[in-house]
Chains A and B, each alone.
Chain A
């Protein structure tokens, strides 16, 4: 059944996989970051295609606006421009390749053999529902998790600051 939605899906898929692959193979680190960015955008588009606009937005804001930027900053911090990334060991490449193919095969086989029966219920992707659930403390609520993540982010922040903090002159 070919329709525009389907075609879009396959295109997006190809897009994100291709850029993903490029991101992990290119020897220019800056390019790798850009290809990653594209790949993540691909994922975000996939969410759009699934009618999950809010998730797509989060994906773009957090990933593209946050993480990738962070990565690029750290590349600036640690990398001398123009240098190629060091080559991986050939043996490791081969082994990794084999393992990945094996894993893909194994998981793929299980997935293929599994009969998925799509549910007829319509997925409620209303922002309101999501928002309600996010802060509900009932059985379907995620308030506790939400709080937990906030603590986690706090802890991560403290950790980052302490670690990345340059030594103050008196202590060095």
Chain B
């Protein structure tokens, strides 16, 4: 796929990014919101890898970025899920709309 223009790959990643963003904005379930975040992170990963491979193959920064993002995503997801579970314990719900005591 070396002939695929870079811009197409970038378009795919950007689209995935905004799909994730859309999900993040509209999903009321906290876990699905978390899924959307994963989508966003994946799109960024694609970006990094694509830039690295096509534009700057002389280093590995993008690739490593992706590795670390995956690691971070895991950590983040873990903590987020822990928080969500805790929230579920106190609210008996993981609907984000139910958790809005803090406002104004």
In the complex, whether B71 has a CB less than 8 A from a CB of chain A is yes
A164 in complex: contacting residue of B57, B73, B85, CB < 8 Å: B85
CA distance A16 to B77 in the complex (A): 21
- Interface pair A88/B81, CB less than 8 Å apart: no
In the complex, whether A8 has a CB less than 8 A from a CB of chain B is yes
**Interface size of B in residues (CB-CB distance below 8 Å):** 71
* B18 partner residues in chain A, CB cutoff 8 A: 100-101, 103-104
CA distance A86 to B1 in the complex (A): 41
- Interface pair A62/B70, CB less than 8 Å apart: yes
B85 in complex: contacting residue of A58, A74, A142, CB < 8 Å: A74
* A159 partner residues in chain B, CB cutoff 8 A: 79, 82
B32 in complex: contacting residue of A67, A85, A124, CB < 8 Å: A85
- Interface pair B77/A70, CB less than 8 Å apart: yes
Q: How many pairs of residues, A versus B, come closer than 8 Å at their CB atoms?
A: 223
* A97 partner residues in chain B, CB cutoff 8 A: 22
Sorting the interface of chain A by its residue count into under 10, 10 to 19, 20 to 34 or 35 or more gives 35 or more
Convert B48-66 into 0s and 1s, putting 1 for each residue whose CB lies closer than 8 angstroms to a CB of A. 0110111111111001101
- Interface pair A116/B55, CB less than 8 Å apart: yes
Q: Main SS of the interface on chain A?
A: helix
B75 in complex: contacting residue of A79, A118, A153, CB < 8 Å: A153
- Interface pair B79/A133, CB less than 8 Å apart: no
- Interface pair B79/A156, CB less than 8 Å apart: yes
In the complex, whether A71 has a CB less than 8 A from a CB of chain B is yes
Chain A nearest CB from B67 CB (Å) reads: 6
* B29 partner residues in chain A, CB cutoff 8 A: 29, 85-86
- Interface pair A85/B71, CB less than 8 Å apart: no
- Interface pair B81/A70, CB less than 8 Å apart: yes
Point out residues on B near A: beta carbons under 8 Å.
1-4, 6-12, 14-16, 18-23, 25-29, 31-32, 34-36, 38-39, 42, 45-46, 49-50, 52-60, 63-64, 66-68, 70-79, 81-86, 88, 94-95, 97
Given known contacts A36-B35, A119-B58, what 10 new A-B pairs fall within 8 Å (CB)? A21-B19, A29-B31, A33-B35, A39-B16, A59-B70, A96-B22, A101-B18, A111-B14, A149-B68, A164-B86
Write 5 A-B pairs (CB below 8 A) sorted by A numbering.
A36-B39, A49-B1, A100-B22, A119-B58, A164-B86
